[in-house]
């Protein structure tokens, strides 16, 4: 059983394709993140799940039920909007109870559920306020409460933290994840922030130009990016991609293992070791430090090897200056090979 499943779902508006036909599965009780740059189709995907939009082709299942043509209310989904979509004229309590009032839930039950939810989101004292009297974080909690109180199995969130400041965002990440675990919700979460995705998700669904690039666990996504896009998108700084035909790189020991169809070599910054002398690494490449970004615990160096450029992560204590000639090396196991189409070459 899966909580959400797409079978060949696509969405087009005339000549514009927002989502190419795709398959997708989200397991019950998991936290799935739709990740990608703006315009990649992640919001469209979310709206298709919610029923705010309908697919051009394909079928959508929620809890194994075909809901392709069902209206939102019959899909067992709740939703948190990017701008919260709070009703400005209603109090916090009325905003949260909106759905229950629509469904004419008995008064006593409404009160009971409201009280519980207010505790969960920590808004007990503010239930009589209007949204305009709340801070951004508090508004966010109201939106969350409105989604929780519905007691739907699936909760959809459209960039819910993007309007908060950095510190609050970090706190809320942990809180959201915790809440999802406690309530055993299936969450589909849209974001363009890969850190957010990696830190919260059970499953990251990476999208690009209306296609799903890769859908897997954060660890696997990081360790085994299936495309150069995934390789570039995940990680800060991202994986350095080098052209295998660049003569400046030919001397590298890493190239010894080059598969025949490989066109690009990817190396993560933290896999690179760097030293002032060639030392014991005969395959090390001569390079020079172009710039240094000091981050405290570590520093990011940008190095040039001939006309090729890559990033290296080094300990923060070590002092490196620009224009220093260095030697660069990495283990063969750190190689990520991609073919001419940008797909991972399995070694």
Binding site for another protein (CB under 8 A): 50-52, 71-73, 77-79, 81-83, 85, 87-90, 98-99, 101-103, 146, 150
| R_g of the chain, CA atoms, integer Å | 24
**Do 156 and 46 touch, CB atoms closer than 8 A?**
yes
Beta strands in the chain (DSSP E): 4-13, 16-26, 31-35, 57-62, 65-66, 77-80, 154-158, 186-191, 203-208, 211-216, 240-243, 262-267, 273-275, 285-294, 298-305, 308-315, 325-329, 336-339
Nearer to another protein, 94 or 202 (CB): 94
Tell the smallest beta-carbon distance from residue 132 to another protein (Å).
10
Angle at 114 between CA 110 and CA 116, to 5 degrees: 125
**Continuous H helices in 30-106:** 42-50, 92-102
Nearer to another protein, 88 or 282 (CB): 88
Nearer to another protein, 79 or 308 (CB): 79
Nearer to another protein, 89 or 116 (CB): 89
Tell the smallest beta-carbon distance from residue 98 to another protein (Å).
6
Q: CB-based burial of residue 43 (10 Å sphere; 0-12 exposed, 13-18 middle, 19+ buried)?
A: buried
Tell the smallest beta-carbon distance from residue 158 to another protein (Å).
9
Tell the smallest beta-carbon distance from residue 194 to another protein (Å).
25
Tell the smallest beta-carbon distance from residue 99 to another protein (Å).
3
**Continuous H helices in the chain:** 42-50, 92-102, 107-121, 136-149, 166-183, 194-200, 218-223, 228-233
Angle at 345 between CA 258 and CA 267, to 5 degrees: 65
Tell the smallest beta-carbon distance from residue 83 to another protein (Å).
6
Nearer to another protein, 47 or 336 (CB): 47
Nearer to another protein, 87 or 294 (CB): 87
Tell the smallest beta-carbon distance from residue 161 to another protein (Å).
16
Nearer to another protein, 49 or 305 (CB): 49
Nearer to another protein, 50 or 345 (CB): 50
Tell the smallest beta-carbon distance from residue 113 to another protein (Å).
14
First-to-last C-alpha distance (Å) of the chain: 33
Tell the smallest beta-carbon distance from residue 37 to another protein (Å).
22
CB within 8 A of 284, min separation 6: which ones? 253, 275, 278, 327, 328, 329
**Continuous H helices in 201-285:** 218-223, 228-233
Most distant CA pair in the chain: distance in Å? 77
* Dihedral angle computed from the Cα positions of residues 58, 64, 66 and 72, in that order, rounded to the nearest 10 degrees: -100
Residue 203's DSSP bridge partners are 32
d(CA 97, CA 104): 10
Nearer to another protein, 90 or 292 (CB): 90
Q: Which single residue is written with the structure tokens 């609050």?
A: 168
């Amino acid at each position: 059983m899966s909580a959400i499943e797409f079978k060949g779902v696509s969405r087009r508006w005339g000549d514009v394709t927002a989502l190419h036909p795709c398959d997708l599965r989200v397991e019950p009780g998991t936290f799935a993140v739709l990740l990608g740059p703006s315009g990649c189709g992640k919001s469209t995907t979310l709206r298709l799940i919610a029923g705010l939009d309908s697919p051009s082709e394909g079928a959508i299942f929620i809890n194994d039920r075909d809901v392709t043509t069902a209206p939102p209310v019959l899909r067992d989904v709740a939703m948190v909007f990017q701008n919260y979509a709070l009703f400005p004229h209603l109090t916090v309590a009325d905003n949260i109870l909106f759905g229950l009032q629509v469904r004419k839930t008995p008064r006593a039950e409404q009160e009971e559920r409201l009280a519980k939810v207010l505790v969960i989101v920590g808004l007990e004292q503010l239930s009589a306020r209007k949204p305009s009297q709340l801070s951004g974080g508090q508004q966010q909690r109201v939106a969350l409460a409105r989604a929780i109180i519905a007691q739907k199995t699936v909760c959809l969130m459209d960039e819910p933290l993007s309007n908060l400041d950095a510190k609050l965002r970090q706190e809320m990440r942990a809180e959201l994840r915790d809440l999802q675990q406690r309530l055993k919700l299936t969450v589909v979460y849209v974001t363009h922030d890969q850190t957010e995705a990696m830190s919260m998700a059970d499953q990251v669904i990476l999208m690009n130009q209306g296609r799903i690039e890769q859908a897997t666990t954060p660890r696997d996504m990081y360790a085994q990016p299936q495309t150069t896009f995934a390789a570039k998108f995940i990680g800060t700084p991202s994986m350095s991609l080098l052209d295998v035909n660049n003569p400046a790189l030919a001397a590298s020991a890493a190239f010894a293992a080059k598969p025949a169809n490989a066109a690009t070599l990817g190396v993560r910054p933290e896999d690179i070791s760097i030293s002032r002398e060639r030392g014991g690494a005969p395959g090390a490449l001569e390079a020079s430090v172009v710039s240094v970004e000091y981050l405290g615990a570590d520093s990011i160096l940008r190095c040039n090897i001939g006309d090729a450029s890559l990033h290296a992560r080094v300990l923060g204590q070590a002092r490196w200056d620009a224009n220093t000639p260095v030697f660069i090396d990495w283990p063969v196991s750190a190689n990520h090979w991609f073919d001419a189409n940008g797909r991972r070459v399995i070694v």
